[in-house]
């Protein structure tokens, strides 16, 4: 293979190296954190519907568990590579560290395409996966969760296999379970609310009253909807929201200068995240091309849809009034756009921090499962607020103290916390 070929793990290592340089980590710490601590590769034989046996490749990578049990999703992907899983497990270590959760980072997967598998076959893969790594995972060592092409159902099959073999109940073995089956309240709201809790704290630092701010949001899925809801509760005004139109195969931005009405838009949205443009026009919304969401004269931009939305081509189109960008989606800003944002002195809440609400509630699910006592939604959301607020303040203080931008600060603080934990354990 050509060495210059794109490799996600190498990209992740390069990012780590940059933080390690800033922290002046010694070689031992670098060697430990640059690579996963444990990797499991195994075969899962499955009897297919036609009676034949097919063997699937499975992985589990535990990048680091110095801060607590490894946590991370299980992916089903037809051309899963170990390097992708390594990179993602490392990313989970940093993510849990930024949110200051007592967890490490892990990731797993099976090389398969669910499009070619019947539900029964998928179930056999899930159960097979658990049987192969049973001794190396568990509520106090490594907690899986759903990821690409896996869902609640897969988690329940895995949990059932684990508990069947152990002969006891361990709902804390896995997260992403439905409410009533060991799932946590508030998971739907978590990411969107988390984004706005971070925004609230950032505005405090900028000494801006949320009631005097306006925002434009990209996307109208779960993250955006709850972000808008909380922002409006905070007194802010959302003037524009954009979303994908399945029929026209393009996106539209819906604008109302004196503020959109969330309930009104929800009533004309399909359950698939799209707003019906004719009905929006009837309700006196301006229907604009999708790309205009970021050109609005607002204080806050919330990209909460896809990656690479703010890039070199369009970043100059953002309005001079914008003072805050909160990354609700993963990786919505390209490095080129990042430079521009820094140059313009726009406050950016990086994805690692801004969307940490999701992993935080997963952690709560695990905690509740372990004690088999489940909180009311208010309690979950209250605790989320506390966690997010302190995570934000820690990153922000670190940035100020070390003259870093927020993205760098989040990356560095994550590495720093993990390295400290390793050091305290006497590993390095």
Contacts to another protein by CB under 8 A: 2, 4-6, 8, 11, 49, 75, 77-81, 84, 113-121, 146, 148-149, 151-153, 176, 178-179, 183, 187-188, 246-247, 249-250, 270-272, 308, 334
Q: Least distance from C-beta 244 to another protein, angstroms?
A: 9
Instruction: Closer to another protein by CB, 31 or 113: give it.
Output: 113
DSSP string, 209-260: -GGG-EEEEE--SHHHHHHHHHHHHTT-EEEEEEEEETTTTEEEEEE-TT--
Could you give the CA distance from residue 226 to residue 355 in angstroms, rounded to a whole number?
A: 12
Instruction: Closer to another protein by CB, 123 or 161: give it.
Output: 123
Could you give the CA distance from residue 156 to residue 144 in angstroms, rounded to a whole number?
A: 11
Instruction: Closer to another protein by CB, 27 or 116: give it.
Output: 116
Q: Among this protein's residues, is 107 annotated catalytic?
A: yes
Q: Which residues pair with 183 in a beta bridge?
A: 179
Instruction: Closer to another protein by CB, 375 or 427: give it.
Output: 375
> For residue 239, what is the DSSP state?
E
Q: Least distance from C-beta 393 to another protein, angstroms?
A: 30
Q: Least distance from C-beta 136 to another protein, angstroms?
A: 25
Instruction: Closer to another protein by CB, 114 or 328: give it.
Output: 114
Which residues neighbour 38 within 8 Å (Cβ) at sequence distance 6 or greater?
Answer: 61, 62, 136
Instruction: Closer to another protein by CB, 68 or 192: give it.
Output: 192
Q: How many CB atoms lie within 10 A of CB 407?
A: 22
Q: Name the catalytic one among 38, 54, 95, 107.
A: 107
Could you give the CA distance from residue 241 to residue 218 in angstroms, rounded to a whole number?
A: 6
Q: Which residues of 140-155 are buried (b: 16+ CB within 10 A; e: fewer)?
A: ebbbbbbbebbeeebb
> For residue 317, what is the DSSP state?
G
Q: Least distance from C-beta 326 to another protein, angstroms?
A: 23
> Which two tokens mark 268?
């004309």
Q: Least distance from C-beta 135 to another protein, angstroms?
A: 28
Could you give the CA distance from residue 202 to residue 358 in angstroms, rounded to a whole number?
A: 19
Could you give the CA distance from residue 365 to residue 361 in angstroms, rounded to a whole number?
A: 6
CB distance 254 to 286 below 8 Å: yes
Q: Least distance from C-beta 178 to another protein, angstroms?
A: 6
At residue 73's C-alpha, the angle toward residues 65 and 399, to 5°, is 60
Active site residues: 107
């Amino acid at each position: 293979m050509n060495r210059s070929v794109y490799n996600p793990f190498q990209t992740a290592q390069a990012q780590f190296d940059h933080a390690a340089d800033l922290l002046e980590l010694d070689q031992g710490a670098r060697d430990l954190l640059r690579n996963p601590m444990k990797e499991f590769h195994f075969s899962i034989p499955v009897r297919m519907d036609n009676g034949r046996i097919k063997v699937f490749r499975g992985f589990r990578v535990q990048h680091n568990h110095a801060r607590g049990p490894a946590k991370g999703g299980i992916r089903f992907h037809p051309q899963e590579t170990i390097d992708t899983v390594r990179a993602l497990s490392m990313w989970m270590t940093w993510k849990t560290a930024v949110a200051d959760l007592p967890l490490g980072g892990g990731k797993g997967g099976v090389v398969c395409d669910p499009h070619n598998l019947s539900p029964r076959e998928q179930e056999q893969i899930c159960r097979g996966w658990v049987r192969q790594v049973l001794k190396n995972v568990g509520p106090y060592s490594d907690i899986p969760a759903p990821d690409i092409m896996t869902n609640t159902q897969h988690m329940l099959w895995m949990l059932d296999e684990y508990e069947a073999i152990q002969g006891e109940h361990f709902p804390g073995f896995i997260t992403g379970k439905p409410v009533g089956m060991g799932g946590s309240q508030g998971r739907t709201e978590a990411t969107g609310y988390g984004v706005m809790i971070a925004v609230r704290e950032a505005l405090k630092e900028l000494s801006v009253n949320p009631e005097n701010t306006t925002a434009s949001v990209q996307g109208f899925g779960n993250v955006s909807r709850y972000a808008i809801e909380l922002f409006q509760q905070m007194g802010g005004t959302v003037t524009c929201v954009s979303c994908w139109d399945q029929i026209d195969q393009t996106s539209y931005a819906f604008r109302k200068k004196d503020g959109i009405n969330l309930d009104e838009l929800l009533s004309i949205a399909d359950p698939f995240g799209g707003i019906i443009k004719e009905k929006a026009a009837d309700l006196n919304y301006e229907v604009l091309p999708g790309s205009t969401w970021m050109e609005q004269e607002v204080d806050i931009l919330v990209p909460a849809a896809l990656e690479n939305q703010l890039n070199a081509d369009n970043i100059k189109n953002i309005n001079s009034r914008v003072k805050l960008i909160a990354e609700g989606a993963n990786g919505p800003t390209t490095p080129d756009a990042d430079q521009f944002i820094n140059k313009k002195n726009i406050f950016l809440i990086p994805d690692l921090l801004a969307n940490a609400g999701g992993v935080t509630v997963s952690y709560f699910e695990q905690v509740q499962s372990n004690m088999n006592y489940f909180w009311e939604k208010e309690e979950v959301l209250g605790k989320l607020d506390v966690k997010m607020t302190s995570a934000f303040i820690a990153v922000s203080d670190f940035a100020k103290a070390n003259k870093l931008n927020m993205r760098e600060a989040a990356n560095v603080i994550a590495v720093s916390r993990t390295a400290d934990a390793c050091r305290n354990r006497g590993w390095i």
